[in-house]
Amino acid sequence: MSSRTTLSEDASVQVIDLGHADYRETLRLQYSLQNERRQGKVKDTLLLVEHPPTITLGLREEINTLAVDRESLDYMGVDLVSTNRGGGATAHNPGQLVIYPIVDLNKRSMHVDEYVHLLEDIGICLLERLGVQAKRREGFPGLWVGDSGGEGPDSMKKIASIGIHLAGMVTSHGMAINIANDLFIFSHIVPCGLEGISLTSVKEVTGIDHDMNEVKRLLVGCVNSRLAPGG
């Protein structure tokens, strides 16, 4: 695991920057923190990380669709990991900011739908500060940009994906936001089981290659303004 830097710490939540870290190692850290949070040993925590090329599969096997075989992924150096989060296949690589909140929803009197809405709100806040107007799509979790006039998700481009897991109402997994990552990795999957959708990034939309440390600083501001105090 790469070194950890605490970006923000107050009475309700701490934000830890893991830098670039292996997906499997980060997953083990999430589950360890999730267990400690259930026991009241740690406060609510947000992990920020960039992963090497990795494709992850969710619990819904019917939407875990790969466009290439596993041998091809091995050849390209893309790790393939099965997880217990919701949703289907998604992808991570450098330039994508991944946010893993370990949050006790009971302490915050928050239902799951409210929590997903909160994640989307934090993402919308960050993207707005980066010059991108992102939107929710009813029935399609995550964040989208572009024309919403069509009837399906193919009328917009997806810029952020959400998949979560709960253990005793404590969360793990979270949200991945495309900042300046190579979008070709998404051609290896059917993202979230949605045929025909396109992915985009902040860099593709704005033409600006933001410094990731500045992106994280802006994210912390969004988190602090939207994550209500919890016990």
By annotation, the residues acting in catalysis are: 192
Beta-strand relationship, 157-167 and 140-145: antiparallel
End-to-end CA gap in the chain: 29
Q: Say how many CA atoms lie within 13 Å of 127 toward its Cβ.
A: 33
Q: Helices 212-226 & 112-129, crossing angle to 10 degrees? A: 140
DSSP single-letter state for residue 150: S
121: phi then psi, degrees, rounded to nearest 5: -65, -40
Residue pointed to by tokens 């992963």:
51
Element holding 136 (H helix, E strand): strand 135-137
